Amino acid sequence: MSVKELTEAYKGWLRYEKIEDQDWMNENGKWLSAIVSSGTCTTVIESAIEELIKAFTNMTGQKPALSDSVQSSYSIVLSKIEEGDDASNELNDDGYIIQAKKTDNGSAVLLAGKTDIGILYASFHLLRLIQTRTNLETVNLRENPTNQLRMINQWDNMDGSIERGYAGESIFYENNQFTNNLERIKDYARLLSSVGINGISINNVNVHAVETKLITNDFLPHVAKVAEIFRGYGIKTFLSVNYASPIQLGDLETADPLDDNVRNWWKEKVKDVYSYIPDFGGFVVKADSEHRPGPFTYGRNHADGSNMLAEALEPFGGIVIWRCFVYNCMQDWRDRKTDRARAAYDHFKPLDGQFHENVILQIKNGPMDFQVREAVSPLFGAMNETNQMLEFQITQEYTGQQKHVCYLIPQWKEILEFETYAKGEGTPIKRIVDGSTFKNRFSGITAVSNIGNDTNWTGHQLAQANLFGFGRLIWNPDLSVEEITNEWIHATFGNDPDVVEQVSIILKDSWPIYENYTSPLGVGWMVNPDHHYGPNVDGYEYSVWGTYHFADCDGIGVDRTVASGTGYTAQYFDENASMYESLDTCPDELLLFFHHVPYTHKLKSGKTVIQHIYDTHFEGVEQAIGLKERWSSLEGKVDQECYQNILDRLTGQIDHAKQWRDIINTYFLRKSGIQDEKNRTIY
């Protein structure tokens, strides 16, 4: 798609529609006619200026003047804050100031940062203020990102496919080569930078044979071209690497991390990478899980494996991001003492303090696998001498695969606010992963991307809200869900009050609605194997007879208690361990994650478990119908292509919700033998 053919859906939240609000323009339009940039024009500053010119031209219908000194009464001024300036002490390297200041003959809106990247972020923030029709006359903001590393993990393969991708093919690769469409990669960089993303790994963590060669001279020149694009938007490039690379690419017979030849091979390979990409971020590694190679093969542990790579990267300032998604997928899943939820903690907690300073452990938000509802990982806060970062999944693998609307910002907000008690009360997860609790050298948050080469990037246009919201939330975890939602809707759909209200309700309600008609009370899974879409109660790939829910004729749920189950609850700090251990205090929404109970067990709502299952699945369908009705009321008020895309997806969501309702309710009626109290038809 050429730049000239861009659709509204493709532009996402950077569409910069013409401002029709004449009252706002009368008050604020004067600042949008001139841009002043007096410093050195680096590639990052060029990106900021290009974005402002594009936006102001579209918003006002007139291209702004660009100069290196103030020439008009009103202007937007881009400025570097010098060391020693009072404002310098208030900002970190990515921080910025947006401030209206009086001048001799008018006023300027100052966009200032200690670095060029800070100025770029200020430019994008100014555009959000304009999109939400903020009055610029008195604007006075100081912003610093809370999290140091704010990252996206692409799960793209070089054949063009995307693992867990639901929006078309890769924008980076096709036919085992890099794409020639660098303009689209630039537009993606714009989207990411606009919400503060500063790192990206550009290939799948499951590194196959072709992708293993990304760190060779065959592909590094192409990686360097992509890195140059991202560099212009303040984003560092990372690569996922194959732990067995010394065998597959070199002439070695081992990948043992304590073997000197292996260590030297990686040191030389890292030198090659940095000769092409001097600001290369580092490596992302998935090892010893789901048949991926790793240090276990050689009797070594994860500290041994990651430290070897860390030593190679350290002279260049690079880091190793080592994923904690490690478990034995060949276990006997019929054994009720076997518990995948325990695996990450059991593997990594004993190694606390053994990892090098430039190793970060990347921990999924829950101990299982991005379910619609699961407990948070007990690893957060458990390793006070090890860098940790949090991993979310923007791509909706278990939450409707972008065929269903499922707004994940409320879920992520709950996770970030979760109280770990790692250092007593006042240590929520957001304060673990921002590095403040244990004074970590490196820390942050990452997520699996949800984009592909579909025209609207995410398949379901409402799924764009998850990408936007992820960036805004990890920049500032104290932002409310309402603030983030409001920003995205105004930037994407404009300022019609009815559109803002209805889309806000659709997004806000969508996660609990999806949970209602899928898996109940934190039990998770119940999906078809391999592709993970659609209901299949006993079908999950490692399940032999429903071992992710242990449903039988008497009850349902996984006993993870110390008293009678897997002992998983003991992995939490005492306050949470005791809460989850007891049926009296365990939250109902996680009841079946922690306890096996009879179908007649009464929830805190007063309903039995079986009646809750029936009711929520019927309610979920009706709620899905309600989502479509809300959206249908907006016909003619939003772009027609966007309207039809979302309408079609919501129609399909209703049909699929009915399928979930009928399969789940029928299964549990037959399993429990207990009738629905409301005598509804269950097939």
Catalytic residues: 290, 369, 397
Q: Is 228 helix (H, G, I), strand (E, B) or coil?
A: helix
**Distance in angstroms (rounded) separating the CA atoms of residues 432 and 444:** 9
**Distance in angstroms (rounded) separating the CA atoms of residues 436 and 430:** 9
Q: Which residue has the tokens 């390297």?
A: 93
- What are the DSSP calls for 318-366, one per residue? -EEEEE-----TTS-TT-TT--GGGHHHHHHGGGTT-S-TTEEEEEESS
The tokens for 533 are 């879409």
State the greatest distance between any 2 C-alpha atoms of the chain, in Å, as a whole number: 82
Distance of CA 57 to the CA centre of its chain: 32
Q: Which of 159, 154, 294, 299 is nearest to 226 (CA)?
A: 154
The residues that bridge with 66 in the sheet, in sequence order, are 35
Q: Which of 74, 145, 146, 149 is nearest to 110 (CA)?
A: 74
N- to C-terminal Cα separation, the chain: 47
Of how many residues is the chain composed? Answer: 683
Burial letters 387-418, b for 16+ CB under 10 A, else e: bbbbbbbbbbbbbbbbbbbbbbbbbbbebbeb
**Distance in angstroms (rounded) separating the CA atoms of residues 646 and 507:** 12
What secondary structure letter does DSSP report for 428? B
The tokens for 187 are 């537009």
